[in-house]
């Protein structure tokens, strides 16, 4: 079976206090820390270096990195060195080299995942899940990638349902617009890894939001 992983998106955190924000999320019950890495907007990436991980917050956290970049291959080596745990690339930019990419990610000790945008058909990721070097997670984007605080797109749940039916034990992650009012839709469709930025960081009680989402997945 699959277990719930609740992953606050650090994109919604106070960047000036990233280390203490990360620790606060772990104290609030987060399983993973979701790190959004984008071309031209690499503040999170620059902060994801060794001193941050080793010194600032004694992080033994699982760093769930989501690469919204044109050339994910360029990030494998530096992210591996920085202590990333999961490395999720987008299928839209990796149609020609995902086999090599997955092997390189694994060789750096990271867990490979593939993501797809709302407009990309789910069939595109099947070969990556079933390949000789398979990805270990599929991230179904539930908003257009780019920024936090957008509205959840319920129509993306068809893709989650199709994936869950085909792969009963696969980690299926959802990202964008998840919070107390949308979690049940995602959980009942079969998602078990939940990214949440604004709903967690914007709440007066982040721990309560995290535990509510966990309950919904584990029900
Ligand atoms: C969007 C990012 C998300 C974002 C989610 O491009 O991939 O991780 O931070 O933020 P919310 O939960 O506010 O939609
Ligand atoms: Zn993300």
Choose the weakest-confidence range: 58-67, 155-164, 177-186, 201-210.
Answer: 58-67
pLDDT in tens, 50-89: 555 555 455 678 999 999 999 999 999 988 887 889 999 9
- Rounded to the nearest 5°, which phi and psi values hold at 201? -70, -25
Atom of ligand 1 nearest to the CA of 179: 12
Choose the weakest-confidence range: 12-26, 50-64, 135-149, 204-218.
Answer: 50-64
What pairs with residue 199 in β-bridges?
A: none
C-alpha 151 – ligand 2 centre gap (Å): 14
Compute the distance between CA of residue 96 and CA of residue 34 in angstroms, rounded to an integer. 26
What's the confidence (pLDDT) of residue 84?
87
**Structural domains in the chain?**
5-218 (3.20.20.70)
Q: Is the CB of 177 under 6 A from ligand 1?
A: yes
Q: Is the CB of 173 under 6 A from ligand 1?
A: no
Compute the distance between CA of residue 8 and CA of residue 5 in angstroms, rounded to an integer. 10
Q: What pTM value is reported for the model?
A: 0.95
Atom of ligand 1 nearest to the CA of 196: 12
The answer to whether the complex's ipTM is over 0.95 is: yes
pLDDT of 121 over the 90 cut:
yes
C-alpha 132 – ligand 1 centre gap (Å): 31
Which residue, 20, 35, 103, 28, is CA-closest to 67? 35
Number of the ligand closest to the Cα of 10:
1
pLDDT in tens, 86-111: 999 999 999 999 999 999 999 999 99
What's the confidence (pLDDT) of residue 81?
83
Judge contact between 72 and 47, C-beta under 8 A.
no
| Residue 67: how many other CB atoms lie within 10 Å | 28
Atom of ligand 1 nearest to the CA of 200: 12
Choose the weakest-confidence range: 28-37, 46-55, 127-136.
Answer: 46-55
What's the confidence (pLDDT) of residue 46?
60
Surface-to-core class of residue 92, CB atoms within 10 Å of its CB (0-12 exposed, 13-18 middle, 19+ buried): middle
C-alpha 109 – ligand 1 centre gap (Å): 25
pLDDT in tens, 180-201: 999 999 999 999 999 999 999 9
| Gyration radius of the chain's alpha carbons | 16
Which residue, 65, 69, 134, 68, is CA-closest to 103? 134
Q: What percent of the chain has pLDDT over 90?
A: 75
Measuring from atom 10 of ligand 1, which residue has the nearest CA? 148
List residues with catalytic annotation. 36, 175
């Amino acid at each position: 079976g699959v277990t719930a992983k609740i992953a606050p998106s650090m994109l919604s955190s106070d960047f000036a206090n990233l280390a203490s924000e990360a620790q606060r999320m772990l104290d609030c019950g987060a399983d993973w820390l979701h790190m959004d890495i984008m071309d031209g907007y690499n503040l999170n990436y620059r902060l994801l270096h060794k001193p941050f991980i080793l010194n600032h917050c004694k992080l033994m956290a699982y760093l769930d990195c989501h690469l919204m970049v044109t050339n994910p291959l360029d990030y494998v080596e530096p992210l591996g060195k920085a202590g990333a745990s999961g490395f999720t690339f987008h299928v839209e930019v990796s149609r020609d080299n995902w086999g090599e990419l997955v092997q390189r990610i694994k060789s750096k000790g990271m867990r490979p995942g593939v993501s797809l945008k709302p407009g990309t058909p789910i069939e595109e990721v099947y070969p990556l899940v079933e390949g000789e070097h398979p990805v270990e997670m599929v991230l179904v984007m539930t908003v257009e990638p780019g920024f936090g605080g957008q509205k959840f797109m319920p129509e993306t749940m068809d893709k989650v349902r199709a994936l869950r039916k085909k792969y009963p034990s696969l980690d299926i992650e959802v990202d964008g617009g998840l919070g107390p009012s949308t979690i049940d839709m995602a959980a009942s469709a079969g998602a078990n890894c939940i990214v949440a930025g604004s709903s967690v960081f914007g709440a007066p009680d982040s721990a309560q939001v995290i535990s509510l989402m966990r309950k919904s997945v584990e029900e």
